[in-house]
Amino acid sequence: KNEVEQSPQNLTAQEGEFITINCSYSVGISALHWLQQHPGGGIVSLFMLSSGKKKHGRLIATINIQEKHSSLHITASHPRDSAVYICAVSKMNYGGSQGNLIFGKGTKLSVKP
Amino acid sequence: KAGVTQTPRYLIKTRGQQVTLSCSPISGHRSVSWYQQTPGQGLQFLFEYFSETQRNKGNFPGRFSGRQFSNSRSEMNVSTLELGDSALYLCASSLDLFGESYEQYFGPGTRLTVT
């Protein structure tokens, strides 16, 4: 079983819809990251969170540490949101290492006009 | 501030050859991590460097190695290339002060094709 599981794997939405992508993990973490990858490969960090909730524009990320679960929400989705969204965790490591991310398989989102 | 840069962007090599990829982190970032992305395995952690020391290593064979220089620039090397090494290789840098979690900034990647 993967240490980071995402659902759904694929998601098609109509422009304007509210979108939710879920991420569950099975290890102790120091932080959880939501990443966006467009065709061509470039990865952009959307959020890094270790508790609670963060919001950037139309994007909202929440995390429940007790449940080991995080969600990424996109409000009023737009075709330019079409991309692969990847959940990744930094495993709790008392040696100070934070750069060894463990990734989910990603959610491919397509938003139709 | 300039972002993370990687060179070269594209590379074609033959089985058995070796390759060196380069990553220049954002100025002031001391941590550099390397990742491999393939269609089958997705994104996997290769190694992480901090202040010229390898701090963590993923589950890859010894053919994969790396180093970090005093200016935080990093290189990774793959020797005796195999077809399965064809992948997008990404590096990411972060500020990493006092061992706390910081956002990672990714480079555009190097797409390696092994024939």
Give tens-digit pLDDT for A21-38.
999 999 888 899 999 999
Buried b (16+ CB within 10 A) or exposed e, B76-90: bebeebeeebbbbbb
Comparing C-alpha atoms, which of A98, A104, A68 is closest to residue B30?
A98
φ, ψ of residue B57 to 5 degrees: the values are: -135, 140
E strand residue ranges, B1-115: 5-7, 10-13, 19-24, 31-38, 42-50, 53-57, 64-68, 74-78, 87-94, 105-106, 110-114
Beta bridge partners of B66: B76
Mean pLDDT within B20-26: 97
Share of chain B above pLDDT 70, in %: 95
Mean pLDDT (whole number) for B60-86: 96
pLDDT of residue A40: 77
Q: Average pLDDT for residues B4-24, to the nearest whole number?
A: 97
Task: Please judge whether B101 and A30 are an interchain contact, meaning their C-beta atoms are less than 8 angstroms apart.
Answer: yes
CA geometry: angle A52, A57, A60, nearest 5 deg: 30
**Closest CB to A98 among B37, B99, B106:** B99
- Residue A65 binned pLDDT confidence (cut-offs 50, 70, 90): very high
Contact between B3 and B103 under an 8 Å Cβ cutoff? The reply is no
**Using beta carbons and an 8 Å cutoff, which residues of B are at the interface with A?**
31-33, 35, 37, 42-45, 48, 50, 55-56, 58, 88, 90, 92, 94, 96, 99-106, 108-109, 111
Nearest to B108 among A42, A103, A105 (CB): A42
Spell out which residues of chain B touch residue A102, defining contact as CB-CB under 8 Å: 45
Q: Closest Cα partner for A106 from A26, A1, A11, A40?
A: A11
Q: For the residues B66-82, what does the mean pLDDT come to?
A: 96
Give backbone dihedrals phi and psi of B8, rounded to 5 degrees, phi first: -75, 175
Joined together, the tokens standing for residue A107 give: 């959610």
CA distance A36 to A4: 16
Separation in Å, CA of A18 to nearest CA in chain B? 26
Q: How far is A89 from chain B (nearest CA, A)?
A: 10
Q: Tokens 């290769």 — which residue?
A: B46
Please report where in the chains the tokens 């202040």 appear, as a residue.
B51
Residues of B in contact with A35 (CB under 8 A): 106
What pLDDT, on a 0 to 100 scale, did the predictor assign at position B42? 93
pLDDT at A94 exceeding the cut of 60: no
Q: Is A49 on the interface with B (CB under 8 A)?
A: no
pLDDT at site A32: 94
